[in-house]
Structure 1
């Protein structure tokens, strides 16, 4: 019996790491989880246990929830300080405002800021409607976006909620107003459309510039720690998150040279985003030319159209 228990100790230790949400290296002496089963093709002493999911609540009093809107494949992120109950919502979607409001109310959070990582051409933000429903909530977006908001963000700005904050890193290229939001401990980066999981935002319209996007990702995102979790604004293949280290190794576009990257982006031949016509109609504009994208999006954030 004692020998059987001793054989189980490594397995029990391994499973406890997942239960407690730790991120640690697997001890070198644990060679197998069970007969014939390995966790990776790599040597186990180099494998990092990195559990994450949409329900995970990180340490240091930070609440985190990942939400999804299926029509536009958009992720919305709710972060909150567990003690003060102050919260931030990243990239809210118009169609899911009721869902988000209900969740915030059920959890007893005080939503301080709803922030958009950029002006979207593929879905309509819910920030304006949220402001009408939540007294005191402020909207935020990059000052380079051309949109109106309570808070216009620049490089190095911080969005505070309780004892936590998100730092702003300007990552233009998909649009001029794209930003990446990074937690204070560099454990999570919300990359909008600049960096997707094994991909990136398109650069063929709406102020797009392939060279600028390549520089943004390499200088502002790939300089984060390799274990930093990457949470994009969209995913179309059922993936929920990645890491900086994974994208630096496996992203099929951004691992190339700049010239190769530019050539790839020029030849994507992507169709127009499905929601572009809807947004133009909502603004009373029927010309879907690229110069009107920013005009449409000026009324996204605060329902104040400058067009």
Structure 2
């Protein structure tokens, strides 16, 4: 099985990718709209087909990426039947299974943070995804969206703490950089409901948290009640339109080499190799400008911000870093030639000053 834990820094949200590697089928838990491009790149690089996005609840601190991922990948949107959300393809009830290949996630109703919260338990009970119900040494808040402290206490004890002690628990959020816990740890050490703490102790704790409402609640909740579609349609993510580009999981835009060969004069080609390489046997792309990587930051003002830039090197590594340097210098339309001159020559594309 493939498992990846992804993080959105702005909302401190964890997104989880699980896939059956043999079948190539995947599910994505709690996707974030701002990270759709990243998540899509990872799914494509791993050669997976996304079957479902599953939101553990109607989030108040970010807009879900469910609808945008459906547009990009054809995945189905799944959410709790009691969430109140419109536009999902599948409404989940307690005990249902979300299958991907030979594996599945079991749905467990864990209300309390919101009325429609669910947790997802892997088929062999080695992993569970608890949304905002049970956090690492904490729990979700219960003071809005039909929250109920009594319901949360019961849900944790009956649906999560009954799992095997070694079962790893993955929350939807963590604000301290913690990534995973276990049933045994939380049963013993959770300061809100672990050890000998009773339901009354828990209710008294969470009803006196006095937390400010999430900053994005007025935008996120209405959008998430439509599975990610807001009134102003935030699904139109800005995509570069100056060339056919591919976005990688590493966060780099890469250019289509055929398009580049056909449009050499419409872009600035910056070759970041050393001078001896630039004049060496691999040759160079016509009209390329030599600025070695170590000099690029100091010579960026030699380039125009009015025309797109394509960076190139021997194999595509140094030119990847060059795109980062250029973006830090204020250049927006920048792409890397993946594979560099080695791939360019292997594809038989036009060069000058090359040795045969």
- Shorter-chain TM range is 0.7 to 0.9
Say if 1:114 and 1:138, in contact at 8 Å, map to a contact too.
yes
User: In the TM superposition, what is the alpha-carbon distance from 1:300 to its structure 2 partner?
Assistant: 2.7
Q: What SS does the aligned partner of 1:230 have? A: strand
1:26 counterpart residue number: none
1:131 counterpart residue number: 70
1:257 counterpart residue number: 198
**1:163 and 2:102 correspond:** yes
2:149 maps to which of 199, 202, 210: 210
Say if 2:63 and 2:228, in contact at 8 Å, map to a contact too.
no
**1:144 and 2:85 correspond:** no
> What TM-score do the two structures reach when normalised by structure 1?
0.73
2:56 counterpart residue number: 117
**1:232 and 2:171 correspond:** yes
Structure 1 pair 302–277 and aligned structure 2 pair: CA distance change class (3 A): closer
**1:277 and 2:204 correspond:** no
Q: Which runs of 4+ in 1 moved over 4 A?
A: 301-305
1:63 counterpart residue number: 2
Write out per-residue CA displacement over residues 3-46 of structure 1, whole angstroms, 9 at most, x where no aligned residue. xxxxxxxxxxxxxxxxxxxxxxxxxxxxxxxxxxxxxxxxxxxx
1:52 counterpart residue number: none
Q: What SS does the aligned partner of 2:115 have? A: coil
RMSD: 1.4
Unaligned 5+ residue runs, structure 2? 233-356
Q: Whose Rg is larger? A: 2
Q: What SS does the aligned partner of 1:159 have? A: strand
Q: What SS does the aligned partner of 1:263 have? A: helix
Unaligned 5+ residue runs, structure 1? 1-61, 280-292
> What TM-score do the two structures reach when normalised by structure 2?
0.63
User: In the TM superposition, what is the alpha-carbon distance from 1:296 to its structure 2 partner?
Assistant: 4.4
Q: What SS does the aligned partner of 1:87 have? A: strand
Q: Distance in 1 between matches of 2:176 and 2:192?
A: 17
The count of residues paired between Structure 1 and Structure 2 equals 229
Write out per-residue CA displacement over residues 32-83 of structure 1, whole angstroms, 9 at most, x where no aligned residue. xxxxxxxxxxxxxxxxxxxxxxxxxxxxxx1100000000000000000010
User: In the TM superposition, what is the alpha-carbon distance from 1:276 to its structure 2 partner?
Assistant: 1.3
Q: Distance in 2 between matches of 1:202 and 1:131?
A: 30
Counterparts in 2 of 1:101-116, with a 5 A limit? 101-116=40-55
Say if 1:171 and 1:178, in contact at 8 Å, map to a contact too.
yes
Q: What SS does the aligned partner of 2:130 have? A: strand
1:183 maps to which of 110, 116, 122: 122
